[in-house]
Amino acid sequence: MRKQKFGVKGPEISVIGQGTWYIDRGDRKRAVEALRRGIELGMTHIDTAEMYGDAELVIADAIAGGKRDNLYLVSKVLPSNASRRGTITACERSLKRLKTEALDCYLLHWRGSYPLEETVAAFDQLISAGKIRSWGVSNFDAGDLDELLSVAGEGAIACNQVLYHLQERAIEHAVIPWCERHGVAVVAYSPFGHNDFPSPNSREGKALQAIADARGVSTRQVALAFLTRIPAVFAIPKAGNAEHAADNAAAGKLTLSVSEIEALDNAFPRGPKPRSLPML
């Protein structure tokens, strides 16, 4: 599994991690097996959120018995809870559900009504208390990041987690360049889209399949390799079973050629810069 540095101050972690949105909706045993298989194969970056129902409880089962060691565990606070006191309470609740003493990174899930100063102060307090090791944000556009930088200063923001997949490349216009300039990791959520992965019979799907066939890999591995071609970008696909987890993990050692990247760039053009950042 390829690793790279997570932000300016963070450790090197797996480029391909594990997302857990909706992981609590299916068979609990299979979900736990998928997470454990992913960890075995090097996908040690595990992402969750208080919004994700019982996902934190599923993760707690998967990492029980000493499996917490060497993981990079991330959760998120809802904007409605992101006051100074509310952020601390939400974090403590997530720690309890995850059955761990500290999070490696804690994120503001999206921009809300509470001033950023309050949330950042809570993050700093949580770091001082040893309950989180770093903090970041999710769904922040470049303008939001500018404002956050003015509050927190350089080097404080570990990551920005954003929607990014082959058919949604809006963050390439301003968000990724901003994060590259300031040493902020970019984490791609829903890297296969949201129930709309390219059909193998579509023009786009055929371009993806051609590369997969030539390499002897899956189309999903090619998609993940395309997203993580940029050194600042990590991806957190979700797997519903151990086989799917293994397929995702294999993308961590796949590097596309210049011609393959060009072919996908032509098949999935990034389009014009949108007025606002897309999110799910």
106 tagged catalytic: no
Query: How far is Cα of residue 42 from the mean position of the Cα atoms in its chain?
Result: 15
**Looking at 52, 114, 164, 189, which residue is catalytic?**
52
Contact 24, 55 (CB under 8 A): yes
Helix pair angle (219-227, 203-215), 10° resolution? 100
Structure tokens that stand for 212 in this block: 């997969």
Helix pair angle (116-128, 142-152), 10° resolution? 50
What residues contact 256, with CB distance under 8 A and at least 6 apart?
211, 222, 225, 226, 229, 264
What residues contact 119, with CB distance under 8 A and at least 6 apart?
77, 82, 83, 84, 87, 108
Q: Is 90 helix (H, G, I), strand (E, B) or coil?
A: helix
Task: Show which residues are catalytic.
Answer: 52
